């Protein structure tokens, strides 16, 4: 009955042409049976994927399922009229998180076969699991009742956003909120990113320093998978006594031990990356620019740039400009510096912090977004590399992906 009422309302409003012009190309989600089935399928597969992700004992499988889950989430966002979120989720939520998880799994060298061990994967015996399930179920049930009892309609802050949209310098309401109305959030978000990078660098630090002499400055965790899959083991007796004899589940890494030397591998990938990388830079710029009036903006753009960097690292692309470490650090903090600079300039102009003058708003938003996109990309790459954006040449990362 509730659904029927809301459907009627929505259709009515659509006919009145209330929707904004920027968003008018999108469908209003009327609950026709087909769409309802689609939504139900989405929700069911989301729940099923999450369940399988956390139920399986094979961590590699769990990560792959989680990546699929992230892509399904992106489709759910699109279904919920949140294309900005969908873009970021697809790029960051599924892509970058998956890369980070896989590279960590590679570091925990043998973790993949670990799931076959008995008694380790789950915390506890059946009664405890039942208790936890029951309590979580109760919590979710209570929350579900609360959600069910919420009013069918709630305008939220959309009217307020719409009223001031003109002054924000952008016609995409999400960008307006992110970079103008609630620019504090984004400023602090960039700070959180930087803190995460610092934390990652500190955590990776001691061993990175130790291995720098021998390894040429790799972040330390990247040396770990080489113990099993790297060229170091291709000769010598270790092949015979390594842990690979213990379980039958480690065929993959074994096969990789007979790989040819690094430079000759993956000509297809290298050629592909050479073709795709420039296009990705263009896409990143386009997504950044279009964020002013349609879904897009700094975060998807930065994620595309980061994805390009991951591809370059995978393909061991040696060419391209080299950064000094100092330069890398400047890139990491550039977004914050510009953001703070704009905010303080506003103070100097006797406005409030981050309160842009209307005529200059578009330019300022674009400036902040452009620098922030580069910083975000750099941050994601640095998070992957254990907190360092720049390391010395001839370090490669693909062993992490393969192990």
Partner 1 sequence: MTTGTLYALCGLGLFGIGLGGIILRTHLLHKIIATNVISSGVFLVLVALADRTRGGRPDPVPHAMVLTGIVVAISATALALGLLRRFYRETGRCRLPEPGSLAPGSLAPGSLERWSPERRSEGGDAEKGNAEKGNGEKGNAEKGNAEKGNAEKGNAEKGNGGEASGGKGDGCRTW
Output 77 or 273, the one with its CB closest to partner 1: 77
Nearest to 122 by CA among 48, 47, 57: 57
List binders of partner 1 among 80-99 (CB under 8 A). Answer: 80-82, 84-85, 88-89, 92-93, 96-97
Structure tokens at 195: 């803190």
Query: What is the nearest approach in angstroms of partner 1 to the Cβ of residue 355?
Result: 18
List binders of partner 1 among 331-370 (CB under 8 A). Answer: none
Query: What is the nearest approach in angstroms of partner 1 to the Cβ of residue 79?
Result: 7
List binders of partner 1 among 380-399 (CB under 8 A). Answer: 380, 383-384, 386-387
Does residue 354 come out as left (phi exceeding 0), alpha (psi in the -120 to 50 range) or beta?
left
Query: What is the nearest approach in angstroms of partner 1 to the Cβ of residue 305?
Result: 14
Distance CA 13, CA 23 (A): 14
List binders of partner 1 among 98-127 (CB under 8 A). Answer: 100-101, 104-105, 107-111, 113-114, 117-125
Using the rule CB under 8 A, give the single segment among 75-83, 272-280, 343-351, 394-402 that binds partner 1. 75-83
Dihedral (CA of 208, 223, 397, 116) sign? negative
Output 83 or 343, the one with its CB closest to partner 1: 83
Output 27 or 319, the one with its CB closest to partner 1: 27
Interhelix angle 358-384/298-314, rounded to 10 degrees, is 30
Distance of CA 347 to the CA centre of its chain: 34
Structure tokens at 123: 């915390």
Using the rule CB under 8 A, give the single segment among 169-177, 340-348, 361-369, 389-397 that binds partner 1. 169-177
Distance CA 257, CA 193 (A): 37
Candidate residues 8, 37, 41, 157; the one interacting with partner 1 per rule CB under 8 A: 157
Candidate residues 33, 34, 127, 147; the one interacting with partner 1 per rule CB under 8 A: 147
- Give the residue carrying structure tokens 């842990």: 243
Contact 287, 78 (CB under 8 A): no
Structure tokens at 57: 């004992």
Burial 121-155 (b: 16+ CB within 10 A, else e): eeeeeeeeeeeeeeeeeeeeeeeeeeeeeeeeeee
Structure tokens at 297: 């903006």
List binders of partner 1 among 1-60 (CB under 8 A). Answer: 2-3, 6-7, 9-10, 13-14, 18-20, 23, 26, 28-29, 31, 35, 39-40, 42-43, 46-47, 50-51, 53-54, 59
Output 296 or 343, the one with its CB closest to partner 1: 296
List binders of partner 1 among 226-265 (CB under 8 A). Answer: 227-228, 232, 237-238, 241-243, 245-247
List binders of partner 1 among 171-200 (CB under 8 A). Answer: 173-174, 176-178, 182, 185-186, 189, 192-193, 195-196, 199-200
How many residues of this chain bind partner 1 (CB under 8 A)?
Answer: 133
Asked if 290 interacts with partner 1 (CB under 8 A), we say no
Contacts of 243 (CB under 8 A, 6+ apart): 109, 110, 228, 250
Query: What is the nearest approach in angstroms of partner 1 to the Cβ of residue 267?
Result: 31
CB atoms within 10 A of CB 276: 16
Output 191 or 317, the one with its CB closest to partner 1: 191
List binders of partner 1 among 208-227 (CB under 8 A). Answer: 210-211, 214, 220-221, 223-224, 227
Q: What is the CA radius of gyration of the chain?
A: 25
Hey, is 238 helix, strand or coil? Answer: helix
Output 6 or 270, the one with its CB closest to partner 1: 6
Contact 165, 180 (CB under 8 A): no
Candidate residues 34, 127, 150, 268; the one interacting with partner 1 per rule CB under 8 A: 150
């Amino acid at each position: 009955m509730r659904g029927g009422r809301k459907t009627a309302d929505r259709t009515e409003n659509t006919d009145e042409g209330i929707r904004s012009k920027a968003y008018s190309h999108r469908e209003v989600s009327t609950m026709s049976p087909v769409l309802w089935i689609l939504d139900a399928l989405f929700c069911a597969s989301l729940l099923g994927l999450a369940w399988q992700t956390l139920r399986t004992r094979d961590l590699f499988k769990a990560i792959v399922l989680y990546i699929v889950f992230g892509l399904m989430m992106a489709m759910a966002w699109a279904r919920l009229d949140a294309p900005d979120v969908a873009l970021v989720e697809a790029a960051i939520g599924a892509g970058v998180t998956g890369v980070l998880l896989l590279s960590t799994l590679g570091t925990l060298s043998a973790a993949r076969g670990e799931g076959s061990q008995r008694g380790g994967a789950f915390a506890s015996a059946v009664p405890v699991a039942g208790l936890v399930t029951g309590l979580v179920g109760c919590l979710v049930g209570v929350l579900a009742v609360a959600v069910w009892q919420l009013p069918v309609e709630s305008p939220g802050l959309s009217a307020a956003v719409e009223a001031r949209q003109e002054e924000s310098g952008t016609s995409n309401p999400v960008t307006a909120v992110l970079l103008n109305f609630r620019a504090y959030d984004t400023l602090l978000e960039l700070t959180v990113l930087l803190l995460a990078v610092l934390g990652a660098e500190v955590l990776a630090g001691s061993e990175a320093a130790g291995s720098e002499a021998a390894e040429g400055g790799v972040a330390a965790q990247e040396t770990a998978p080489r113990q099993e899959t790297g060229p170091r083991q291709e000769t010598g007796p270790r092949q015979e006594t390594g842990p690979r004899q213990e379980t039958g589940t480690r065929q993959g890494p074994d096969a990789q031990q007979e790989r040819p030397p690094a430079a000759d591998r993956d000509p297809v990938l290298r050629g592909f990356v050479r073709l795709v990388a420039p296009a990705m830079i263009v896409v990143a710029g386009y997504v950044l620019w279009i964020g002013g009036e349609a879904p897009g903006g700094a975060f998807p753009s930065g994620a595309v740039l980061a994805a390009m960097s991951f591809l370059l690292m995978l393909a061991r692309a040696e060419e391209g400009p080299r950064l000094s470490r100092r330069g890398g650090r400047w890139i990491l903090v550039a977004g914050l510096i510009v953001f703070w600079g704009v905010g303080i300039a506003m103070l100097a102009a006797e406005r409030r912090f981050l309160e842009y003058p209307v005529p200059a708003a578009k330019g300022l938003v674009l400036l902040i977004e452009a620098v922030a996109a580069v910083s975000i990309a750099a941050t994601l790459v640095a998070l992957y590399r254990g907190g360092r954006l720049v390391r010395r040449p001839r370090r490669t990362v693909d062993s992490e992906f393969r192990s």
